[in-house]
Structure 1
Amino acid sequence: GGIAIFFALGCTLIAFVTFVVPADGVPLVDLTQLFADMRRAPGDYIWLMVTLFSTLIPTLLNLSVAVLTLGLQYPAGVRNFVADLLERGEHSGQAALLSGICICAMITIALWCPIWIFTFVITHDHGAIVNAVLWGFEAFAWAIGGI
């Protein structure tokens, strides 16, 4: 869903720049030049990439909740271990502490796991994802006559 929203946002921005022309007839942004500049000097447009990729942050958070849910439900050994600790926690301070540590570890792993994966993919693909996204947006701009 987050990826679809990301592409919808980018396409909406391109469509807005293409179809909304001020009274003087000069386009808000020259899309041809913008795409050429983004390919030539991508470091100058980090602000644009950060703005667009910030739409993926809620997706990462939703993915974290999904990982936590799976972690609490499906590894039966872990689920039963933590449930037993919680039951024994009423009578044992050590079991209560250990169950709290286990649950905190599960939550920490669930929150960070999608972020680590996202960071790994972005840093190890050598710009392939960014280039593919740029190509997709450029193709959309060409299709609607913005280029």
Structure 2
Amino acid sequence: MSLATGVFKLAAVTLLLAGGALNADAAYADDGFPFGFEMTLDAAPQPGSKRLPTLQIGDNGAATLELWCKGGRGQFSVAGNTVIFVAGPLENTTCPPARAQADDELLAALSEAATWKRQGDLVSFIGTRPLRFRINTD
């Protein structure tokens, strides 16, 4: 195979993959990943607290997390229905052991999520422990 033929085939494959990615983006346009939105965990409050964990995800995937009692930053990377979340350092706060453990478990579940799906205002992160968040619309 000549160099020119190899380059042509590589260019063709690149165009096909790019076209597939554009079609995938179009399929998610109505129910795309909630960049630029704040979401609240769809769960009951912890005993003795009314606070619910929230995620605010910027347009570039930078996330601000306010968990049961801890807070911090992280980064989401999304390609199609695949998601990768990398947590940054959390602030050290004094909180009851049960809430601290719930924060650690929530962070671990987000970090282990491999895929996501959205149905209207509900966003699910699917991994070893599925999580569901509601997009804040008010």
Which structure is larger by alpha-carbon Rg, 1 or 2? Answer: 1
The structure showing larger relative contact order (alpha-carbon pairs under 8 Å, at least 6 residues apart) is 1
- The structure that is helix-richer by fraction is 1
User: TM-score, normalised to structure 2's length?
Assistant: 0.27
User: TM-score, normalised to structure 1's length?
Assistant: 0.26
- The structure that is strand-richer by fraction is 2
